[in-house]
Amino acid sequence: METAAEIIWLDTVDSTSDELRRRIPHAENLTVVAAVEQTAGRGQRGNKWLTRPGENITLSVLVRPGNDGIPPLKASDAFRLTACTALSVAEYISSKGVRCSVKWPNDIYCGDRKISGMLIESSISEGYITDSIIGIGINLNQTAFPPEVFNPTSLKRITGSDYDIRIESEILVGILVKNLLSFDSSSLMPDFNSSLYRKDGFYSFTDCSDGTTFEAKIDKVDTSGKLHLTLKNGRSKSFSFKEVSFII
């Protein structure tokens, strides 16, 4: 199988994921849409993904599990796709000699600063995912960020080097497609858990249901994507996405 369809480059688009969705009826599996400028990029929790034109990776990939050597994926196992994507981005960043970790559920951090985020939107039929649009943003060359962007960093901030967004996008997509072929591997979740941000020791969290703060250590993230914590009193608690947040 080819590593990926040729990347469709657009000078300007509202959102690469929205553009890819408009193309779904005629798009091949692993079609990639990338943009020099994204005017309405979206992140998790309904946040905007703010990025300067031509400085960063902004792309989306269409994935149809069960086709072209990619394993089928039950809707109940959807987090495996998130874990595979996060590890792929982390692998790409690590290939530049930069240490990073996966901040649950799917942000990529270098130290305590965010370098990448992603948004995965899927369609389901008869209990299986039929197609997913994986949107990925990675800060490459941007060094100045608007004040509303929380604790950002970029490869250039860390390494001092400049990067060609087209070349780097091809490298990233190659890594992702390689890993999509084996996201049903038994090693996926252990690898994901070993890559977690703040995986060792006690740290502060906020319970989003009532705003209370507490200290806990991460036990694991399970295959459904739930974060399992152990509190200082020894009690265990698990949280789904948006139920708990890190205090950074």
> What tens digit of pLDDT does each residue of 205-240 get?
999 999 999 999 999 999 999 999 999 999 999 999
pTM for the structure as a whole: 0.93
Cα-based torsion angle of the residue sequence 139, 143, 149, 155 in order, rounded to the nearest 10 degrees = 30
The number of folded domains in the chain is 2
pLDDT(3) > 50: no
Q: How confident is the model at residue 10 (pLDDT cuts 50, 70, 90)?
A: very high
Distances (CA, A) of 188 to 1, 82, 160, 194, 230: 22, 11, 32, 10, 22
Backbone angles phi, psi at 188, to 5 degrees: -60, -55
Whether residue 190 lies inside any domain: the answer is: yes
Q: Which domain holds residue 226?
A: 203-246
Choice among 45-59, 131-145, 150-164, 227-241 with the minimum mean pLDDT: 45-59
Q: What is the DSSP string of 84-145?
A: HHHHHHHHHHHTTT---EEETTTEEEETTEEEEEEEEEEEEETTEEEEEEEEEEE-SS----
Whether residue 2 lies inside any domain: the answer is: no
Residues in the chain: 248
Question: What mean pLDDT is reported for the chain?
Answer: 93
Tell me: do 65 and 185 sit in the same domain: yes
Tell me: do 189 and 208 sit in the same domain: no
pLDDT tens-digit profile of 82-130?
999 999 999 999 999 999 999 999 999 999 999 999 999 999 999 999 9
Tell me: do 138 and 220 sit in the same domain: no
Tell me: do 49 and 170 sit in the same domain: yes
Whether residue 1 lies inside any domain: the answer is: no
User: Using an 8 Å Cβ cutoff, are 223 and 189 in contact?
Assistant: yes
Whether residue 140 lies inside any domain: the answer is: yes
Q: Which one-letter amino acid corresponds to residue 189?
A: M
CATH code of residue 43: 3.30.930.10
CATH code of residue 215: 2.30.30
Tell me: do 211 and 101 sit in the same domain: no
